[in-house]
Structure 1
């Protein structure tokens, strides 16, 4: 019986140590994030961004992102453009209310990182890689990334026309522990 108790205690301790080592730090997204987009013709921001960020620069294998952008929070600086962007001709915010990104893999890339995952916009899900930097200051940090999205890949608007097919996206996501 004594051996069973010692064995059980050792097993429980080993499980706790293992669980502690495979869970990456959870970072809380602050209110000062910026999700901006631009092309030659139009630009703006999304005002609602939330999700879960588990990131450990020393153990990328257990790091992951699961974030969403509320499509209806789009702000272009022009009320008519906002309404048009939310319409079924573009994002169709009523039918597809969020842009969703779930990571599959995060790797070191030069001085920064790359996250590869599934990006879902307008009901279309595609594997997508986003380069980013991570700047840590104590219990606070910022994720910064710049990348391009071809809106035609996600059936946003009509190809060609007045808005460029390739849209630049810039992210600045401050986080705290």
Structure 2
């Protein structure tokens, strides 16, 4: 019994130290952006204005982080109302039936100082696929209110056809009006809770 009590007393501080801290995304200082090639000659940029995310990590370098993120599909904004309405339709995101996109991480691997590879499951519409993001860690600071903040930038490419974003038209020359590959870039600032 004394031995068991000794083990519990020794291990308790370690388990407290190993508990993951929760960080919530600061939407006022974050963005979820995308770009896609248009008519083979240029790109159209867009963003999602409503999103939420949480990061949990016990290690100060975030190498053990677990991330959950959601995006409100109806908040898509390309600066063009008819195009945004089309993107919310069944041709693309079908915001009425699938109001949220989500991402749940499975690993965050440190590649070098400040560089990580984030892997997880991205769900768009009714499809979930494993994706990898290249992540840059900008650092951690305390703000004027003494809250700890951490900054990250993440990017990846996805094939929109993999997620049933099926609209497809060709130009007279045979190129696509909207490319199948979409560049996704997130600039995220998290606040420790």
Tell me the TM-score normalized by structure 1.
0.86
Map of 2:45 onto structure 1: 43
Give CA deviations for 1:66-117 in whole Å, capped at 9, x if unaligned: 1111101101101111111111111001111111110111101234001111
Map of 1:123 onto structure 2: 126
Is there any run of 5+ residues in structure 1 with no aligned partner, and where? Answer: none
Map of 2:156 onto structure 1: 147
CA contact (8 A) 1:115 1:130 kept: yes
3-state SS of paired residue (2:98): coil
Map of 1:173 onto structure 2: 188
Of Structure 1 and Structure 2, which has the larger fraction of its residues in helix? Answer: 1
Which whole-Å CA distance do the structure 2 matches of 1:132 and 1:67 have between them? 15
3-state SS of paired residue (1:130): strand
Of Structure 1 and Structure 2, which has the larger fraction of its residues in strand? Answer: 2
Residue 137 of structure 1 deviates from its aligned partner by: 3.0
Give CA deviations for 1:103-155 in whole Å, capped at 9, x if unaligned: 11110123400111111111100111111011223221211012111101111
Which whole-Å CA distance do the structure 1 matches of 2:60 and 2:107 have between them? 13
**Worse-superposed segment, 20-29 or 148-157:** 20-29
How many equivalent residue pairs?
172
3-state SS of paired residue (1:153): helix
Moved over 2 A (4+): 10-25, 55-60, 157-161
Which whole-Å CA distance do the structure 2 matches of 1:15 and 1:123 have between them? 44
**1:8-19 alignment runs, 5 A limit:** 8=5, 10=6, 12-14=8-10, 16-19=12-15
CA contact (8 A) 2:25 2:52 kept: yes
Tell me the TM-score normalized by structure 2.
0.80
Is there any run of 5+ residues in structure 2 with no aligned partner, and where? Answer: 39-43, 142-147, 170-175
Which whole-Å CA distance do the structure 2 matches of 1:123 and 1:96 have between them? 7
Map of 1:96 onto structure 2: 98
CA contact (8 A) 2:168 2:177 kept: no
